[in-house]
Structure 1
Amino acid sequence: MEHDHEINEKIKRNNYKVFAWLSNYLNNAPDFIGKEEIDEIVGAGVSSEYAFAVILAAAFGLDIVDNPIDKALFHNYFNKMFHKLEASEYANTPYYQNIKIPRIQIGNSELKYEKYKPFEGFVSNDIIRTMEGRQIPQVGFFETEFQFPAVLENGRIWMTITPNEIETMKEPIEQAFGKVLTFGLGLGYYAYMVSEKDNVDSVTIVDSNENVIRLFKRHILPQFKNAHKINIINADAFEFAQTRMAEGHFDFAFMDLWHDVSDGLDMYLKLKEYEKLSPETVFTYWIEKSILCYL
């Protein structure tokens, strides 16, 4: 038992170290890696994912050749962490194909395209949790520049449609049916995708940001083939959940109010408390798998 406890504590420490390294990299230098460095290592006969992992491991101070502890950590985390994504796979999604984003600003909200540079790292999916308890962040990169729609608030990226959103919304899109409720409008990716489903009758969106709603209604919603299914309510999500959600008799609910795990944990726990008010509704939450890693 004592040996198992030591192993668990070691894994927890490694989880923390890896998260700290990745957080520093993604927040401060996501374009740290360039094509020339990747090409040099790939020339030795390895994949670009492996080259990406090796470069970052060295930047984090790991010796994966002579230090057995560093080598084991690299094998257990880094080999499963980095993914080369194909730009065409995401550019060909229905939303990207059918919805065009103009550059517009209303109040503090700005609608525009942002971009990832070649080999710029970004969170690409939910954290993977292994049987041993390791928590492995998922980081993606493209080999070419990739543009994505975004809403900026006061010059800061707040809402996007990136590979991360596309991947982490696949399940709640597939599961949605009947009368759908979603908290958080964003750029309407989730609403668009579920409105295209024959088994979805209506999509009610609750959002408190009037500027974002105006941008969406004026420039994005008219491009929806099934715009008649969409109903937008300008309200505080928590107040709506407490006082009005049950009367809507929704079949399916998707909650997406947070920017990432760091600001989502408290909101997630608060929303979970309101599930009992609508026992007939199926509830799902954006990046729930990642959030649960912090509980």
Structure 2
Amino acid sequence: MVGNKGITDQIKEDNYKVFALLSQYLNHSPDFIHEDEIGEIVKCGVTYEYAFGLLLASAFGMDTVDNAEDKELFNKYFNNMLHKLDANEFYDNQYYKNIKIPTIKIGSSELKYETYKPFEGFVCNDIMQTAEGRQIPQIGFFETEFSFPAVLENDRIWMTITPNEIETMKEAVDQAFGNVLTFGLGLGYYAYMVSERVNVESITVVEMNEDVIKLFNNYVLPQFKNAHKIKIIKADAFEYAQKYMSKGNYDFVFTDLWHDVSDGIDMYLKMKKFEKESPDTIFTYWIEQSILCYL
């Protein structure tokens, strides 16, 4: 990975420009690209990703034909940024196949399915950083509508199990072993996937939201084949890490407390400080690769 000091000013400017444009798109109009528009361009023999990129660049006011800077930005970023995903690949995920989410509300928390519209864009993986320091967001879309489990807090999406969560947790799932500690419960995706591993003996989950714990215990955990491996502790993650983590003989710790990089950096750095107290434990963090791009 290239350190920030080794990145040229021009590349830093390009990175900033791409992230600013995507932030506007994802926050305000992620579903403005429609199937008929994509279809017309694809008829010319290009990929769905290329067609999606052309429409996105046009919406950003970029001239990828006559403007050399815009053309270079498109080639350097868009070609490696956009991905048409296969819905069946994700619906075949073990959690999606085996866990059914009811529509239920407890307190201010609501459990339900949300959807991505056809060709709606969303973050689908960690930021990819090139050898020269270009930071390329990973944006996915589906050709058809895609449903995913979610927890809403005061009618706002708070926790989800989307392709992004599935992709960015793969490594932490595959590496887990022994006695596992995880900070953050959500819908129990990580706990479920890790509980299915034969080399995992126990999973301790630290979560402070009582409504989320109730939703999970009543409607999700009973569906887990290896529910006996899982223990839920209602506590603040940082207080638990400070007082109890080093005493728990944990082999593997996974932290997932933040929504994205913007609110994750400070919590990531805070949690990292506790690693020295458990030198024999392996620590992993959700979207760490993306967070490190900003440090």
| 1:291 corresponding residue in structure 2 | 291
Map of 2:17 onto structure 1: 17
Please report how far the alpha carbon of residue 66 of structure 1 lies from its aligned counterpart in structure 2 after TM superposition: 1.0
**SS across alignment from 2:66:** coil
| CA distance in 1: counterparts of 2:55 and 2:196, whole angstroms | 42
Any idea what the Cα deviations from partners look like across 1:40-61, whole Å, max 9, x if unmatched? 1101110110000010111111
Where does residue 121 of structure 1 map in the other structure? 121
Aligned to 2:250: 250
Matched residue count? 291
Superposition deviation, residue 279 in structure 1 = 1.0
C-alpha distance in structure 2 between counterparts of 1:259 and 1:6, whole Å: 28
Shift of 1:92: 0.7
Shift of 1:141: 0.2
- CA drift of 1:199 comes to 0.3
Say if 2:150 is the partner of 1:150.
yes
Q: Does the aligned pair in 1 maintain the 2:7–2:133 contact within 8 Å?
A: no
Question: How do 1:114-193 residues align onto structure 2 when only pairs under 5 Å count?
Answer: 114-193=114-193
Say whether the 8 Å CA contact 2:250–2:281 is kept in structure 1: yes
Q: Does the Cα contact within 8 Å between 2:7 and 2:132 map onto a contact in 1?
A: no
Q: CA deviation at 1:173?
A: 0.3
Amino acid at match of 1:211: D
1:211 is the counterpart of 2:201: no
- CA 1:167 to 1:6, structure 2 compared with 1: closer, same or farther past 3 Å? closer
Q: 1:6 to 1:161 in 2, by over 3 A?
A: closer
What are the superposed Cα offsets for residues 226-264 of structure 1, whole Å, 9 maximum, x if unpaired? 000000000000000000101101000000000111110
Structure 2 residues without counterparts, runs of 5 or longer: none
Q: 1:7 and 1:250 mapped to 2: Cα distance?
A: 38
Distance 1:78 1:243, change over 3 A: same
Structure 1 distance, partners of 2:161, 2:65, is 39
SS of 1:77's equivalent? Answer: helix
Secondary structure of the residue aligned to 1:46 is coil
1:25–1:243 distance in 2 versus 1, CA, 3 Å: same
Cα drift, residue 70 of structure 1:
1.0
The SS at the match of 2:275 is: helix
Question: How far apart, CA to CA, are the structure 2 residues paired with 1:245 and 1:7?
Answer: 37
Residue deviations 1:212-235 (CA, integer Å, cap 9, x gap)? 000000000000000000000000
* 1:116-162 C-alpha deviation (Å, 9 max, x unpaired): 00000000000000000000000000000000000000111010000
Structure 2 counterpart of 1:142, one-letter code? F
> In the TM superposition, what are the counterparts of 1:62-81 in structure 2 within 5 Å?
62-81=62-81
CA distance in 1, matches of 2:276, 2:215: 34
* Stretches of structure 1 lacking an aligned partner (at least 5 in a row): none
Letter paired with 2:41:
I
Question: Does residue 8 in structure 1 map to residue 12 in structure 2?
Answer: no
CA drift of 1:280 comes to 1.1
Q: CA deviation at 1:6?
A: 11
RMSD of aligned C-alpha atoms?
1.0
What does residue range 208-287 of structure 1 map to in structure 2 within 5 Å? Answer: 208-287=208-287
1:46 corresponds to: 46
Q: Which amino acid aligns with 1:165?
A: E
Aligned equivalents of 1:53, 1:266: Cα separation in 2? 33
Question: The residue matched to 2:206 in structure 1 has which SS?
Answer: strand
Identity %: 70
Q: Partner amino acid for 1:39? A: G
SS of the residue corresponding to residue 49 of structure 1 reads helix
What is the distance in 2 between the residues matched to 1:6 and 1:290? Answer: 17
